[in-house]
Every structure is written in C-alpha cells, then in structure tokens.
Structure 1
Amino acid sequence: MKNMRKPALLLLVAMLMILTAAACGKNNKDPEKLTAVKFSEVIRSIFYAPHYVAMSQGFFKEEGLNVDMNTAQGSDKGAAALIAGTADISLVGPETTIYIFNQKGDKTLKVFHQLTSKDGSFLLSREKLDNFQWSDVSGKTIIGWRPGSAPQMVMNSTLLKEQAKDAEVITNIAAPAMAGAFTSGQGDFIQLFEPVASTLVNEGKAYYAASMGEAFGAFPETSYVATSDFIKDNPETVQKFSNAVAKGTEWLNTASEDEIANALMPFFEGTPKDLILQSVERYKSQDTWSANPELTQEQFDTLQSVLVENGVLKAEEKIKNMEDVVDMSFVKKNGKSD
C-alpha cells in the first residue's frame, strides 16, 4: 500500500505544479506576443509619475503592451516624432495638436488621455525670500522654457495676471541645461520641474518661491497624443494604453511611500528616496493627477485662451470643434474593456 501511495502522491504533486504554471501564465504575458508601442515622453519628470508606475508595476504588460520609451526633450520634438512615424504615442502638451491642425498638413494629432491638470513647474529663487510676492520678480531675470511651450505660457500668463512688470524670462536655454545655467550664476529665478527643483533646493543652490500650478490654477498641461491615423487603425492598442495609465494613477494614490519610491527610483537614478517622495507629495497636494483623465471642453477653452493671450494662436484660428483634435472615447472606457 505504501508503494502504491507514493506514485499517486507524485502524480498529484505534478498535476498541481502544472495547474500552478498554467495559472501563472495567465498573469505573465508572453513577451513575444506583446504589442510593441514606440513611446516618446516630453521630458523626464516625476510630474509624469503615473506613467512610470504603469511601466514598473507591469500595467502595460497586463494590457498586452510592450512600451519602448524615449525622452524627446520638448513637446515640439515629441509631436514631430509622431508625424515622422518614429513614435506611436507621445506625452506632450495638448497645444501641439492645435498647432498641427492649423498647419493643414497631411496628418493631424489627437489627445486621447489627459494626464495632468496643473502646471508641474516650480519657481525657485537664488536668494532666500521669506515671504515671496510676485512683485519680487519685477526687474529680475527668470530662466524659463522655450517659447510656445506650456510652462513658458503659464509663466507669462501668471506674470500678466500678477502684474509683475519688467521681468525678463530667458527662453533660449535647452531644458537639460537650465539647472546648470542657474547654478553657474545665470538668472535670479528659475522655473523647474521635479525632481530637479527639489534637488537644487536640497543642495542649497536655490530656494523654493512658488508653485506655478497653484499660482495659475487648472490647466491641461500634458496629454497622451497620437496621430488620427494611428488611433483609427489601432483603437485596441490606444484603449489598452489608456487603461494602463489609469491603473498607474489609481495605484499611485493608494500605495505606501516605500512602494512609490521603489516604483519610481529606477527612472530617477541618483535621486534620493526622500526627494522622490517629496516631489510626489508636492504634485499630489496640488491635485496634479485627476482620477478622471478627461480633457473637458472647459479645459480646452482655457488652453486656447492661454495660446491667444501668449500670441501663438490668433483668435480666428481657435478650433471651434474640440473633437477635431480630441478623442475622449477611450478614457470613458477605462477598466471596462476586460
């Protein structure tokens, strides 16, 4: 009897191992069967934390996608990559869709997922200011972003609103060189995203002055964009991509500090854990990542008003039908496609 029980036991163990392997296979997509997506981000910043979470936590792979990411260093370059076909999806300012549409070219771009609902930059000062007022920048120089970019327009509109006169905004320094230019002595103030902003403050090379997101208010700064053709030809891929990012946002709002740090640190090598968490908290506190990733008509109207105010769009060029450059059908289905 003992000899008979042993083969039966071994058979039972083998069957359990097979069933376990089969179950695991359902949760781990075969890399060869994943749909490849060429993705371009505008810059590397914790401002886009939900995307990195979706990558590190495997949410894209759960949706059957293999996302190959590169950093464009500018919304203009990210949009150009879409037009050229070197990127399938780009994370850029939604204003690029308006610029491209008004060029009346062969291709148009569309926003399909709104990632951020505030500007993500912070104003830092060279000298410590105990009670910053916008009048403090009058007659001073600010190292800012390239003309026509979302952070540059938010800065300009804020200066106009606050009546900060005679402030000179330097807009011809490439994004990767801005912090270096400031630390070498150029500019009285600088406009930076996290974690670079907190890094300079932590090193004693700058002082926190203001949050541009809080100063300006609601603004649709960064969106996931693709060509109209790509969206039309690959609706399932776009839906899966949107689903994964939505999962990333939800996870970020419920995870522990250790989990968040572990998820983001691979994308910010050399940045201390406490600075990563501080950056995340700053963005959370100003409601950067909305649970509803929809670009609304109100937000779109705000965007176009800012473009007109900054002289990069003529009033008669404003897009009357938002759907010409926006497709929110995918975010309305987040989590419902399984």
Structure 2
Amino acid sequence: MSKSKLAKPAFLLLAALLLILSVSACGNKSKSDELTAVKFSEVIRSIFYAPHYVAMSQGFFKAQGLNVDMNTAQGSDKGAAALIAGTADISLIGPETTIYVYNQKGGKTLKVFHQLTSKDGSFLLSREKLDNFKWSDLEGKTVIGWRPGSSPQMVLNSTLTKEKTSGVNVVTNIASTAMAGAFASGQGDFIQLFEPVASTLVKEGKAYYAASLGDTFGAYPETSYVATSDYIKAHQDVIRKFSNAVAEGTKWLNSASDDDIVKALKPYFDATPDDIILQSVQNYKKQGTWSTDPELTQEQFDTLQNVLVENGVLKAEDKVTKMDAVVDMSFVGNIGKSD
C-alpha cells in the first residue's frame, strides 16, 4: 500500500479532532459571552461585606448569568457619584446617599434595592486595656473617627448623644486608609475601625477592643446595594439576579465551615492571616450583621433619617416622606423565585 493511502485516514482523523476542538472552543466562548457585565463599586474593602465576596468566590453571580467587575470607591459619596456618572451600574454604599441625591432634585435619583447590613460595622478600640469600658471613659479623650457625614461617624456621634457622653475630641480628617497607621504611630486614645483592620491591630498588641458600635447603637441600615432609578427600570432582570446571588452568599456564610469561609474570603484579603479573617466574620455574626431577610423596612428607614437629622446633615422638613421614592424592595420580595 502506498504511503499516500496510509496518510489519508490519519489526516482525516486529525482534521476531525481539530474540528471538535474548534466547536468546543466556540461553545465555551459563547457561554462566556452570555454573562451580563455589571460594573460594581464597593464603598471600602471590609469583611463587613463578606456575603458579597462569597457570592463572587463561590460563583453565585456567574450562576445567575452575571459577570461582576468590582472596584473600591473609598467612600459612599464617591460610590454615589460613580452611579450618577455611569461609571458604576450598582454601588454598595450608605442608603443616606439616596436621600441626599433625591433632595438635590437633579436629573437622576438613586434607589436602594437590597439591604446588606443591619448594624453598624465599626468597633471602638482603646490604646490602653480597659477591663470594664464605659462610654464616659471617652470624656476628655481623642478618638480617630471617620469622615463627617459618613455612616460610622454619625453612628458614633449618635451613640455619644445616647450615652450622654460629652467632651470627646473626634478626629474626622484622616483618610480611611491611613487611620490605623495614624493610631499605631501614637495618635489618639481610641480609634473606630472596621474588620479585618480592627482585629489586626488587636492581634499586633497595638489596641484593645472596647466596644461594638453595632451592639451599642442597635439596628441601623448602614450599607445597601443602590442603583439609579433608570438603571433599575431598564435592567430589572439584572437587579433580580444580583439580589438573588447576594442572598445566596449570605445563606452560605451562615452555614459554611470555618475552613470554607476562610477559603472563600481569602482572594479578597490575601494579606490578612486566616485567623484574623475568621475572627472578623465571627465578630460580625455575633452582632447579627447579616440578616437573612435583606429588606430595608420602614422602621429602619425612619431610624436612618432620624440619625441624619440628629447629626445635622438633613433638615427635619427635608425628610423623605414616601420611602418608595428612594427604596425599591420588590426584588428582595422575590428572592429565590423563578422567572
């Protein structure tokens, strides 16, 4: 038999294999192309938002057909600006931003569609160990706090009012990324921090836990998923799927093993030791941070507006009287339901 006759079947077999590989590659590409891109902005990077990172690492967003591109805004004001400018589709920010934007009567309005956290996520740390901390211990002391008008700053201020504590010097002009460094270098007697930075300072022996602002102040809708009214109207399916994925992340976090939780969060906190990641999650679980019902209720909304008025960033006459002007809980009400 000639060499050409022997080579022909081998050539046909090779061609068939190449065709299969080509079809397979095309199939994978089209499946990837089916994912809807979502530009997402988080206010800061914190384990306070663990359910979101779980939804990303465990593939809950992709299972819903979404490809979430995440960046960190470093402030609710910046996250809200990104929505208005169109550089973000969805932002995880303080719900008070929706009220501010609404009262500006501009061309766009923002709406909360999913309430992620139901407590403040900051912890008060002291430079010296205090066995029985009392809020009166802050009198005459300096606290490194958050920027004016931010949720943690307002919650601290309202807590001081609630606890009838006066004469406290709260520093509010240090960037959030520089706060821990400033305290470690000797500035301030106390500091207000989120996890995992709080647990990191404690582990390093540079600070001691004094109090949980979440436990002390009580229920407070600190961080919400927000989008423009226009985006929500035009992309209802995206909002529904996004809300479903986050809810799945919260559910998973409440039942997963310690090892699995650390593995899920590690990609977003690669410089944080495993024990600190776990300690941070446990601290937030202990205070009931992540509700399995991510609804922003009327009672929570009223609490929010009362805090804004108490802190002088909202006039009483400028309160939003109809919550649905800045809140849309219809997607939360349909979590888990099929099309």
- TM-score normalised per structure 2: 0.91
- The amino acid of 1:65's aligned partner reads L
Question: Is the 1:51–1:248 Cα contact (8 Å) retained in structure 2?
Answer: yes
Q: 1:254 is matched with which residue?
A: 255
Size of the aligned set, in residue pairs, is 315
Distance 1:129 1:66, change over 3 A: same
Change (3 A) 1:128 1:229: same
Shift of 1:164: 1.2
Q: 1:10 corresponds to which residue?
A: none
| Residue identity (%) | 77
User: Which residue in the other structure is 2:89 paired with?
Assistant: 88
Match for 1:186: what amino acid? Answer: Q
1:234 alignment partner in structure 2: 235
Kindly indicate whether residue 202 of structure 2 is the aligned counterpart of residue 201 of structure 1. Answer: yes
Q: Which residue of 2 aligns with 1:59?
A: 60
Cα deviation code 1:216-273 (max 9, x no counterpart) = 0000000000000000000000000000000000000011011100000110012111
Name the residue aligned to 2:132. Answer: 131
What code does the residue aligned with 1:83 have?
I
Secondary structure class of the residue paired with 1:30: helix
- TM-fit CA distance, 1:337: 2.5
Q: Shift in Å at residue 32 of structure 1?
A: 1.4
Which segments of 5 or more consecutive residues in structure 1 lack a partner in the other structure?
Answer: 1-17
Contact 1:29–1:64 (Cα < 8 Å) also in 2: no
Equivalent position amino acid for 1:60 in 2:
F
Corresponding residue for residue 166 of structure 2: 165
How far apart in 2 are the matches of 1:85 and 1:178?
30
User: Which residue number in structure 1 is paired with residue 3 of structure 2?
Assistant: none
Alignment partner, residue 17 of structure 2: none
Larger Rg: 2
* CA deviation profile, 1:161-195 (whole Å, cap 9, x unmatched): 11111001111111101111111111110000000
Q: Deviations over 1:23-54 (max 9, x none)?
A: xx99x992211000000000000000000000
Q: Does 1:108 align with 2:109?
A: yes
Distance 1:245 1:331 in 2: 10
Conserved in 2, the CA contact under 8 Å of 1:42 and 1:73?
A: yes
Distance between the aligned counterparts of 2:108 and 2:329, measured in 1? 19
Structure 2: any 5+ residue segments left out of the alignment?
1-19
Aligned to 1:11: none
User: For 2:81 and 2:175, how far apart are their aligned partners in 1?
Assistant: 17
| Cα distance per residue 1:93-139 (max 9 Å; x no partner) | 00000000000100000000000000000000111111100011001
Q: Is the 8 Å Cα contact of residues 144 and 152 (structure 1) preserved in structure 2? A: yes
- The CA distance in 2 between the partners of 1:156 and 1:126, in whole Å, is 20
Match runs of 1:268-283 below 5 Å: 268-283=269-284
Separation in structure 2 between the aligned mates of residue 49 and residue 30 of structure 1, nearest angstrom: 28
State the secondary structure of the residue aligned to 2:188.
coil
* Residues 1:323 and 2:287 aligned together: no
CA distance in 2, matches of 1:298, 1:29: 46
Q: Judge which range, 61-70 or 266-275, deviates more.
A: 266-275
2:336 matches 1:335: yes
Identify the residue that residue 155 of structure 1 maps to in structure 2.
Answer: 156
Match of 1:75 in 2: 76
